[in-house]
Chains A and B, each alone.
Chain A
Amino acid sequence: MSDTAAVSVKMKKRGQFKEIRRRFMKNKGALLGLCFIVVLVVCALIPSVIAPFGFDDQNLTQRFKSPSGLHLFGTDEFGRDIFSRVIYGCRISLTLGLVSVTISCGLGIILGCLSGYYGKIIDNVLMRIIDIMLSIPNILLAVSIVATLGTSFFNLMLAIGIGAVPGYARIVRASILSVKEQEFIEAARSNGASDWRIITRHIIPNCMAPIIVQATISIASAVLSAAGMSFIGLGIMPPTPEWGSMLASGRAYIRDYWYVVTFPGLAIMLTVFSINLLGDGLRDALDPRLKT
Chain B
Amino acid sequence: MFKFVARRILMMIPVLVGVSFVIFSMLYFAPGDAADVILGDQATPADKALFRSQHGLDQPFIVQYLRYMEGVITRGDLGTSYVTRQPVTVEILQRFPTTLKLAALSTLLAVLIGVSVGIISATRQYSFMDNLFTSISMIGVSMPNFWQGMMLIIIFSVALRWFPPSGFSTPMHWVLPVVTVGTNASANIMRMTRSSMLEIIRQDYIRTARAKGQTERVVIWKHALKNALIPIITVIGLSFGRLLGGAVLTESIFSIAGLGKLMVDAIKLKNVPLVQGGVLFIAFVMSLVNLVVDILYSFADPRIRSMYTRPRTRKAPAREPA
Is A17 on the interface with B (CB-CB < 8 A)?
no
Is B114 on the interface with A (CB-CB < 8 A)?
no
Is B179 on the interface with A (CB-CB < 8 A)?
no
**Of the candidates A29, A136, A138, which one forms a contact with B23 in the assembled complex, judged by CB atoms under 8 Å apart?**
A136
Is A268 on the interface with B (CB-CB < 8 A)?
yes
B26 & A144 in contact (Cβ 8 Å cutoff): yes
B245 & A228 in contact (Cβ 8 Å cutoff): no
Is A254 on the interface with B (CB-CB < 8 A)?
yes
Is B123 on the interface with A (CB-CB < 8 A)?
no
A276 & B15 in contact (Cβ 8 Å cutoff): no
Tell me the interface secondary structure of chain A in the complex. Answer: helix
Is A39 on the interface with B (CB-CB < 8 A)?
no
Q: Given that A128-B18, A232-B248, A254-B150 are known contacts, is A143 also in contact with B267, CB under 8 Å in the complex?
A: yes
Residues of A within 8 A of B5 (CB): none
Residues of B within 8 A of A261 (CB): 147, 150
Size class of the contact patch on chain A: 35 or more
Q: Could you tell me which A residues sit within 8 Å of B by CB distance?
A: 29, 128-129, 131-132, 134-140, 143-145, 147-148, 150, 220, 224, 227-228, 231-232, 244, 247-248, 251, 254-255, 261, 265, 268-273, 276-277, 280, 283, 289-290, 292
- How many B residues have CB within 8 A of the partner chain? 53
Is B126 on the interface with A (CB-CB < 8 A)?
yes
Segment among B68-76, B160-168, B280-288, B294-302 that sits at the interface with chain A: B280-288
The proximity string for B residues 126-167 relative to A, scoring 1 for CB distances below 8 Å and 0 otherwise, is 100001001100110111111100100010001000000000
Most buried by B among A148, A248, A268: A148
A138 & B242 in contact (Cβ 8 Å cutoff): yes
**Of the candidates B22, B144, B202, B287, which one forms a contact with A228 in the assembled complex, judged by CB atoms under 8 Å apart?**
B144
> Residue on A with the closest CB to B249?
A228
Q: Given that A29-B131, A128-B18 are known contacts, is A136 also in contact with B279, CB under 8 Å in the complex?
A: yes
Residues of A within 8 A of B131 (CB): 29
Is B252 on the interface with A (CB-CB < 8 A)?
yes
A136 & B22 in contact (Cβ 8 Å cutoff): yes
Bound Cα distance from A139 to B22, whole angstroms? 15
B142 & A129 in contact (Cβ 8 Å cutoff): no
B141 & A268 in contact (Cβ 8 Å cutoff): no
> Residue on A with the closest CB to B23?
A144
Bound Cα distance from A136 to B263, whole angstroms? 12
Bound Cα distance from A232 to B268, whole angstroms? 10
